[in-house]
Amino acid sequence: MQIYCEGIGRIKLNFLPVSHLHTLPSFGFIFESEEKRCYYSGDANDLPESVQNDLEKGKLNIIYQDTCGLDYDGNAHLSLKKLCEVIPENLRKRIYCIHHDSFLDVEKVQKLGFNLPEIYNR
CATH number at residue 37: 3.60.15.10
Task: Give the per-residue pLDDT at 53.
Answer: 96
Distance CA 89, CA 114 (A): 9
Q: State yes or no: pLDDT of 121 exceeds 60.
A: no
Task: Give the per-residue pLDDT at 23.
Answer: 64
Distance CA 10, CA 26 (A): 25
Instruction: Check: CB of residue 70 under 8 Å from CB of residue 83.
Output: no
pLDDT (tens digit per residue) in 42-69:
888 899 999 999 999 999 999 999 999 9
- Which of residues 90 and 22 earns the better pLDDT score? 90
Domain count, the chain: 1
3-state secondary structure 27-83: EEEEEECCCCEEEECCCCCCCCHHHHHHHHCCCCCEEEEEEECCCCCCCCCEEHHHH
The boundaries of the domain holding residue 16 are 2-121
pLDDT (tens digit per residue) in 12-49:
988 888 877 766 778 888 999 888 999 999 888 899 99
